[in-house]
Chain A
Amino acid sequence: EDQVTQSPEALRLQEGESSSLNCSYTVSGLRGLFWYRQDPGKGPEFLFTLYSAGEEKEKERLKATLTKKESFLHITAPKPEDSATYLCAVQEGEGSTLGRLYFGRGTQLTVWP
C-alpha cells in the first residue's frame, strides 16, 4: 500500500491561473512532510518542510499547508518557469530515529504563456 498519494498526476495551467496540488499520506506518527521540485533529468530540489498540522510555509508563488491527513501546495499566479514535477515525501517518526523518505509519484505541472 502506498504511503503517499499525489493528485492530480498532471496539471496544465495558463500563466496566472492559480491552483493547488494535493498530497495525502497514511503513515503513522508523521515526523515531517517535505515538498520538492524536480526538473527533467535532475535531482529533486528542496522546497519546504512541514512538521505539524496547521503549519504553513511560503516561498515566492508557492505556499504549502499541512493537515493531519494531507498537504496542499498552492501555486499563485504561476509562470512558465514554475513548470516541473512536484514531489511530496513523508518521514515517519514514532519509534524511529531514522530518516527514510517515502515519496509520492509526483504531479507534473505545465504552465503555458
Chain B
Amino acid sequence: DAGVTQSPTHLIKTRGQQVTLRCSPKSGHDTVSWYQQALGQGPQFIFQYYEEEERQRGNFPDRFSGHQFPNYSSELNVNALLLGDSALYLCASSSGWEQFFGPGTRLTVL
C-alpha cells in the first residue's frame, strides 16, 4: 500500500513565475492538507481540502490556491513567486484525526 506521494521532489523557479505541486493521498484517505516548512521551522498550515472543497485556510495570501480532484488527489498552485516562497511543501492525507505526510517538494525560488 503506497503512502502519500508528491511530485516533483525538487523544483527551481525564478521570481514571478508560477508553480504547481501535486499530491496523491494514502489509499482510503479523502482529506488532503498542505503545509509550508521553511528551513529550521515547523510546518505551517496552508489549507485543507475535503470533497473537492477548500474547507479551512491558514494565513497565506491568495497567490496560494489549490484543487482537489474526484479521486482525492490534490494540487497546490503558487502564483507570482517570491524569494520567501522557497521552502519544503508538504502534503498530508487523512480520513480521521491523524494526518500522514508525504516526502515533500523542495521549492527553490531564485
Binding site for B on A (CB under 8 A): 4, 31-32, 34, 36, 41-46, 49, 87, 89, 91, 98-106
User: How many interface residues does B have (CB within 8 Å)?
Assistant: 28
Q: Is A100 a contact partner of B106 (Cβ separation < 8 A)?
A: no
Query: Is there a chain A Cβ closer than 8 Å to B102's Cβ?
Result: yes
Query: A34 to B35, alpha carbons, bound, how many Å?
Result: 16
Please, how many angstroms separate the alpha-carbon atoms of A1 and B26 in the complex?
33
A72 to chain B, nearest CB (A): 18
Which residues of A lie under 8 Å from residue B35 when comparing CB positions?
A: 101, 103
Q: Which 4 A-B pairs have the closest CB atoms?
A: A103-B42, A43-B101, A98-B56, A44-B101
Contact partners of B56 in chain A: CB under 8 A: 98-100
Structural contact, B98 and A44, CB atoms closer than 8 A? no
Q: List B residues at the A interface (Cβ < 8 Å).
A: 4, 6, 31, 33, 35, 40-45, 48, 55-56, 58, 88, 90, 92, 94, 97-104, 106
Chain A: which residue is nearest B97 at the CB level? A32
Residues of B near A32 (CB, < 8 A) are 97-98
If A49-B98, A99-B48, A99-B99 touch, whether A43 touches B42 (CB-CB below 8 Å) is no
